[in-house]
Amino acid sequence: MAKDEIHQGDIGTKFLVTIYDGSTIVDISSASSTKQIVFKKPSSNKLTKSATFSSDGTDGKMYYNTIVDDLDEIGTYEIQGKVVVTDGTFYTDIQTFKVHRNL
């Protein structure tokens, strides 16, 4: 049986991203207004969600927990983090994940 699958309609799924500049983690603790995680659905519709620091931001990590209708499509999604800090604007690599159907 598959483990840790993401399913259509899941609420509270935590998406954690880490911001890098090359291979170096970016201290994002100075980010105040722009901490975002962008989801591109299988239909190509995009959702931009506000992210929260995982700790204090010095580790470059931020996350978003899904709510109703975030994962409303079955298929492959893309995800990318974006943050604006005093040193510039940084994006994560684009990652993919699959949302599975329910019975």
Residues 6+ apart with CB under 8 A from 73: 8, 41, 42, 43, 99
Q: Does residue 1 register a pLDDT over 70? A: no
First-to-last alpha carbon distance for the chain, in angstroms, is 14
pLDDT tens for 2-35 read 568 999 999 999 999 999 999 999 999 999 889 9
Would you say residue 1 lies in a domain? no
Q: What is the mean pLDDT of residues 32-41?
A: 94
> What's the number of domains the chain is made of?
1
In a domain? residue 71? yes
Q: Is residue 28 part of a domain?
A: yes
- Per-residue pLDDT tens over the stretch 47-65: 999 999 999 999 999 999 9
Contact at 8 Å (CB) between 76 and 66? no
CATH number at residue 86: 2.60.40.10
Domain span at 59: 6-100
Whether 55 is in a domain gets the answer yes
- Any idea how long the chain is? 103
pTM over 0.85: yes
Q: Which residues lie closer than 8 Å to 49 by C-beta, 6 or more apart?
A: 36, 37, 38, 39, 64, 70
Residue 74 lies in a domain: yes
What's residue 54's pLDDT?
A: 95
